[in-house]
Structure 1
Amino acid sequence: MLEAFAELSTPLLADACVRAGVPLRVAPAGIGAVVAGQRVAGRVLPARHYGSVDVFLEAYGTARPGEVLVIDNGGRTDEACVGDLAVLEAGAAGVAGLVVWGLHRDTPELVEIGLPVFSYGSHPPGPVRLAEREPEALLTARFGPHLVSSEDLVFGDEDGVLFVAADRAQELLATARRIRETEREQALAIRDGRTLRQQTAFDDYLARRAADPSYSFRQHLRRIGGAIEE
């Protein structure tokens, strides 16, 4: 999956979701890679954190190679829920990366380990709490307003993280590739002196909008085959 995602980006996938009418499931702003430039893509391996690492170790026991551990720590900013040992063990289990709705610690060690880890950032203390575990602890994970499971794929890069249903992934990846090609052609044309306004027949759009105020630029782009917004 990481190979299929190699020449794409989360913005392109987000645009593909809009074009295909698929609900956008994007991680809250601020989730990013511990090591700048790292990317992650794979099937979700969900885990809800309650204060102990045992839930991660249990998840690793059923992990399939290439899965991505998606950790629900409720977006907490008062504790780090993963560190070097949890990440090392993830690599040993064949996990392709970790995406945390929360914080990490042991940053220098994570950089050295090299396994992609996405989180809100670093924080020295680990958890001092131990909450009651829910039956869904290893079945689903919350990430912001979204609920994800092993039926989903996760993609992460320098722009953030998003989730898509596994059964729509190939369609969305193909749509994202088409959008990428259109945008590349438009970028080359701008560099060659053909402005974006010319490419999108912007004067024509303004005239149509004047005649019909409900006519949107997005409708216009779809009519002429532009990309820009989606």
Structure 2
Amino acid sequence: MLKEFAGLSTPLVADACVRLGVGLRAAPVGVRGVAEGSRAAGRVLPVRHYGSVDVFLEAYGTAREGDVLVIDNGGRTDEACIGDLAVLEARAAGVAGIVVWGLHRDTPELLDIGLPVFSYGALPLGPMRLDEREPEALLSARVGPHAVTVGDVVFADPDGVLFVPAGRVEEVLEAAGAIARTERAQAERIASGDTLRRQTAFDDYLERRAADPSYSFRQHLRRVGGAIEE
């Protein structure tokens, strides 16, 4: 999946979702890669954290090569729920990355390990609790307002983290690729002196909007074959 995501970005995937009518699900602002430039993509391996790493070790037993562990720690900022040993074990299990709705610790070690990890940030404190485990502990995870399962694919890069239903991934990536090609061509033309306003016939758009206030720039871009927003 990471190979298919190569050359694309989460903004392109998000625009493709809008174009195709796929509901947008993004991790909350602030969930970022521990290492600069981190990228991850793969099937969601969901897990809910209750104060002990045992649930992670159990999840690794069902991991498929290239899965991305998605940890629901309720967005807590009073404890770090994952550190170097759990991340090393994830790599040994074939996990391709980790997304945490919460915090991590052991930052220098995680950087050395090299497995992409996304979280709200670092905190030295580990969990001091042990909550009752739910039956759905390995079936679904929440990341902000969104629930994700093994039926979802996660894409993560320096702009953030997105979730896409697995059944729509192929068409979403295809549309994202088309948008990327259009945007690159537009960027090259701008660099050569052909302004974006001229490329998108912006004066024509203003005239049409004056005559029909309901005429949106998105409609116009689709009519002229441009790509800036969806």
Q: For this structure pair, what is the TM-score category when the shorter chain's length is used for normalisation?
A: over 0.9
After superposition, give the CA deviation of every residue in 1:9-65 in whole Å (9 maximum; x if it has no partner).
Answer: 000000000000111001111111111011100000000001110100000011111
> Which residue pairs with 2:42 in the alignment?
42
Write the distance in 2 (CA, Å) between the matches of 1:60 and 1:161. 21
Residue 213 of structure 2 corresponds to which residue in structure 1?
A: 213
Matched residue of 2:137: which SS? coil
State yes or no: 1:198 paired with 2:198.
Answer: yes
Distance 2:90 2:169 in 1: 24
Matched pairs, number: 230
SS of 1:70's equivalent in the other structure is: strand
| Separation in structure 2 between the aligned mates of residue 116 and residue 65 of structure 1, nearest angstrom | 15
3-state secondary structure, aligned to 1:132:
coil
Q: Would you say 1:59 and 2:45 are equivalent positions?
A: no
The 5 A counterparts of 1:92-107 are: 92-107=92-107
SS at match of 1:163: strand
Paired position in structure 2 for 1:18:
18
Q: Deviations over 1:154-174 (max 9, x none)?
A: 010010000000010000000
Q: How high is the sequence identity, in percent, across the aligned residues?
A: 75
- Supply the distance in 1 between the matched residues of 2:28 and 2:222 (Cα, whole angstroms): 29
In the superposition, the TM-score normalised over structure 2's length comes to 0.99
Tell me the CA shift for residue 202 of structure 1: 0.4
Give structure 1 stretches of 5+ with no counterpart. Answer: none
Q: Deviations over 1:61-107 (max 9, x none)?
A: 11111101000001110000000000000011111110000000000
Structure 1 residue runs of 4+, over 4 Å off? Answer: none
Secondary structure of the residue that 1:64 maps to in structure 2? Answer: coil
The whole-number CA distance in structure 1 between the counterparts of 2:181 and 2:91 is 34
Q: In angstroms, what is the RMSD of aligned CA positions?
A: 0.5
1:194-218 Cα offsets, whole Å, 9 max, x none, are 1000001000000000000111111
